[in-house]
Structure 1
Amino acid sequence: MSEESCGHILVVDDEANARRVLSAILSEAGYQVAEAECARDAKTLLRSLDIDVVISDVRMPEEDGIELHDYISEHYPDIPVMFLTAYGDVESAVSAMTKGAFYYFVKPPNYTDLKGILSWAVDQRRLKRELHLLREQLGEENQKYRIIGRHPEIQRIFETIKSIKDSESSVLITGETGTGKELVARALHFEGKRGTKPFVAVNCAAIPKDLIESELFGHEKGAFTGASNRRVGRVEQASGGTLFLDEIGELDLSVQAKLLRVLQEKEVDMLGSNKRVSVDFRLISSTNRDLEEEVKRGHFREDLFYRINVVQIKVPSLRQRRSDIPILSASFVKEFCRRENKLLALSERVLEVFQSYSWPGNIRQLRNVVERAVVLARGREITLQELPEDLFAPQSTHEKAEPTQTIKEMEARAIVEALEACKGNKSKAAKMLGLSRKALYKRLSDYHILT
């Protein structure tokens, strides 16, 4: 059998001979085996190895097997624990099984039976792990359109989304490039009553000006040179759902006029066709421009502006919500670690650099930097070596940012917010922040945070 198909077993026994014999038998059966002579060593190995099953003696000096089982139940609840016990300790082993231990054998065990139960335990562990990964993947699938953040401005956006998600009114989302405007649009769509219908996104800045009209409204075969087939436009594709026009300020005035007519009449006519098709969609638009200024300059139609700007949502830059940087960074670390099959945390110095940098590319730039760092990292931590040089260049901005805080103040605030979000669970809060439990406890002590 291969190591992958058999599993990784931790044998814990203070009797060296018994430990060696069991390890040899399991290794011969195809298992990868780690050994520990006490509970303390077992805990160290559990932190560094991916263990499938623990087989432990009950009676050991200092901390016994029952206490080790309690520790594993709290910190590694998916790992089955099997006991090997002397006849006089059977009562303790049975008691442990009532608290969740997987099985127990009286020494010396029937090794054929033990291997059969062990195979079952490994299968159970792997099944639990696969279910956990599936739940995480499903959770991520559902959260693709959800916004991460606890900053007051982000909380206000959450409240606005809740208020208008089922409305038919048009929404204009404003903010710098990379701030997450499309995530807001997706949240409005998928959280609302049109969530099961199409969400059609069009990047108006990415489509050549001579093709944008055909892209939006469609064309009949032969409508223009190169139109070899009939094509349904994005507006019609969005019928029943939501049309998201990203960077709507890039549209030419002629296209703006046609879009206005579609919004007024709820009908669209293809290029080269005399027939009009009824459409029913909600319009959500975004821009990084000041459209009111564009209206004054004659670059954007005033009547269209009022049509698309019934409700406006302003997405803050990352500079204006620095307190969200730790949780955003931790989320990206988790995402890319899973893809790269790594286990990493952000070092304190990296977090300090992230907090002090101006992020002209906003969340998109932060995500790119974290992806790069995860790919390059070789140890257990992301260090300054994995960061691009431009993060260390002098930065200047005239934009109003969050009130000035020291790095420690921002970090302390992020820790408090993470603990509140996790209802005091330090393990979950540490994962959310991208810290080890040890690092979190040190910060709690350093910053005098009471829990």
Structure 2
Amino acid sequence: MQKFDFLVIESDEARVDFVLSALHFLGYRPQHGAACGEVDESTHAWRAVYIGSVADAAEAERQFALLGAAASHVPVLLAGDSPWVERFSTASSPFAARMATLEFPLRYEKMAEAMRNIYARLLGGQSGALRFVGNSAPMIRVNGLIRQVAPFDSTVLVLGESGTGKEMVARAIHEHSPRRDKPFVAINCGAIPAELLESELFGHEKGSFTGAISARKGRFEMAEGGTLFLDEVGDMSLPMQVKLLRVLQERAYERVGGSKTLRCDVRIIAATHRNLEESIASDRFREDLFYRLSVFPLELPSLRERLDDLPVLIGEFNQRLARRGLGVVRFSAGAMQALRAHAWPGNVRELSNLVERMAILFPHGEVRGSDLPKKYRGQQAVDEVHGAALLALMDDELPPCETGVHPVAEALRTLPEQGLDLKDHLADIEVGLIRQALDVTGGVVAHAARLLHMQRTTLVEKLRKYGLQNSLAA
């Protein structure tokens, strides 16, 4: 049996039925105070209270006392015509900051909105600070969904490609929820062998298998009262899917090798990069488990769908690097253009790794397009100019064209309408030519110098000036 988490104090039987139904719909496990004689840790974990009409003041006080220590922090919903409204809403009341009134006839949408508003007030400044990074339209939508689902215990299934930040979304949901003061426990279901996953999830008793020299808690036990994040749940074996389904249905399990039934009070957030509906069709994933997990599906966009977030993401990664003692790095306009053209198969994780690599190679410096690793440079027009100019150096002279001006020379001297920084532009051209000369000659400096018609010592100085020695070695 699941633990009760929402106390309902109401004398009107018609209202009792409606309130209980609405709370069940919102994912809570409510109990009518009149039916509750005593409270125990194994059966109750109060997260909120509803107070409506009160026919017997003494009985209502008894029911309110069932909250125990939770009365000092849980949200309070009050019927607008409840005689306790004045008691809870005065400015001096300790409940004023965490209460909301509801008018009848009541709609469950209004109840959900009231709970979200209370949690937003309780979170205060944390709410904005923990926002999932991004200002693009797809991420505004994701942030909105996180805030909507966080206050409730509904199971969330986070979908998206690898590297899109599924665990970060799970953490954001946990940090915005009433469980934020309890543990957040994550487990990668695809990284643990199938024969060991059961022990990892449910724990084991001493001697239950070879090597079990002592009893051990599982992730469900560790996450008690908090949130359990099941990453890559689509990679879970079919036998384990059956066992997980039972826990989700009954909120009870046994340790491996044990016979004692343990109750659990955890919120489940699952994630996968797989298409579970295709896995169901090919009999690799149970349909009943899919519907248990997919109460609130939340799909993350790939980085390709949110390229407008590149600057803010780079800024976020720079802040993290600075906290670790690394130098921050800037990307030139040309470099940003190249990054926008990249396919980003690794999504945000790939971008994070690239920023860290560039911060190591160019600490507190600016990364130009030509400084990026080869696969990120793309086929920008400036690179084509560099390539054509290099061919000109290799051939010593260019064939004339009808206009008398070779297109390479024309491209090199055409001023963009918005103007440019001549020093940076010439340096960018020089770096690109040097890098390509080294590529053509297999990194042999003497041969590259001969190709560029300069002394070897001059090229070595330029390599040192532009930091290309470190870049080539990376």
TM-score range, shorter chain: 0.5 to 0.7
1:153 aligns with 2:138: yes
Q: In 2, Cα distance between the equivalents of 1:393 and 1:223?
A: 56
Q: Are 1:310 and 2:275 counterparts?
A: no
Report the counterpart of residue 5 of structure 1 in structure 2: none
Q: Whole-Å Cα distance in 1 between the matches of residues 236 and 355 of structure 2? A: 33
- 1:319 maps to 304
Structure 2 letter corresponding to 1:374: A
C-alpha distance in structure 1 between counterparts of 2:184 and 2:176, whole Å? 12
Which residue of the partner structure matches residue 332 of structure 2?
347
* Displacement of 1:238: 1.1
State the distance in 2 between where 1:156 and 1:379 align: 34
**Superposition pairs of residues 347-386 of structure 1, within 5 angstroms:** 347-377=332-362, 380-384=365-369, 386=371
Letter matched to residue 219 of structure 2: R
Identity of aligned residues (%): 45
Q: Which has the larger radius of gyration?
A: 2
* 8 Å CA contact 1:372, 1:386 repeated in 2: no
Shift of 1:171: 0.6
One-letter amino acid matched to 2:310: I
Unpaired stretches in structure 1, ≥5 consecutive residues: 1-140, 396-440, 444-451
Tell me what 1:205 maps to. 190
Q: Quick one: structure 1 residues 378 and 201, their matched pair in 2 at CA, closer, same or farther if it must change by over 3 Å? A: closer
Distance 1:334 1:304, change over 3 A: same
Letter in 1 for 2:361: L
Q: Deviations 1:396-427 (Å, cap 9, x if unpaired)?
A: xxxxxxxxxxxxxxxxxxxxxxxxxxxxxxxx
Alpha-carbon shift at residue 260 of structure 1 (Å) = 0.7
Note closer, same or farther for the CA distance 1:144–1:238 as it changes in structure 2 (3 Å cut).
farther
Q: CA deviation digits over 1:185-228, x for unaligned, max 9? A: 11111111111111010011111222111101110011111111
| Residue of structure 2 in register with 1:301 after alignment | 286
- Who is 2:231 aligned against? 246
1:235 equivalent to 2:220? Answer yes
Distance 1:305 1:256 in 2: 10
User: 1:114-263 residue pairs with structure 2 within 5 A?
Assistant: 146-263=131-248
Superposition TM-score, scaled by structure 2 size: 0.52
The equivalent position to 2:255 in structure 1, one of 226, 245, 270, is: 270
How many residue pairs match? The answer is 259
* Pair 1:378–1:310, CA change in 2 (3 A): closer
| AA aligned opposite 2:245 | L
SS at match of 2:352: helix
The answer to whether structure 1 residue 332 and structure 2 residue 327 are counterparts is no
- CA deviation vs aligned residue, 1:107-154 (integer Å, no higher than 9, x gap): xxxxxxxxxxxxxxxxxxxxxxxxxxxxxxxxxx99896411011111
Q: How high is the TM-score relative to the length of structure 1?
A: 0.54
Q: 1:361-417 CA deviation, whole Å, 9 max, x = no partner? A: 00000000000000000563123454222213679xxxxxxxxxxxxxxxxxxxxxx
Q: Distance in 2 between matches of 1:302 and 1:180?
A: 25
Instruction: Provide the rounded CA distance (Å) in 2 between the counterparts of 1:308 and 1:162.
Output: 19
Indicate the RMSD between aligned Cα atoms, in angstroms. Answer: 2.5
Unmatched runs of 5 consecutive residues or more in structure 2: 1-125, 381-417, 421-474
- 1:235-283: CA deviations, max 9, x gaps? 1111101110001001111111111111111111001001011100110
- Give the 3 Å change call, closer, same or farther, for CA 353–202 of structure 1 in structure 2: same
Separation in 2, partners of 1:370, 1:326: 11
Instruction: State the alpha-carbon separation in 1 of the partners of residues 419 and 214 from structure 2.
Output: 65
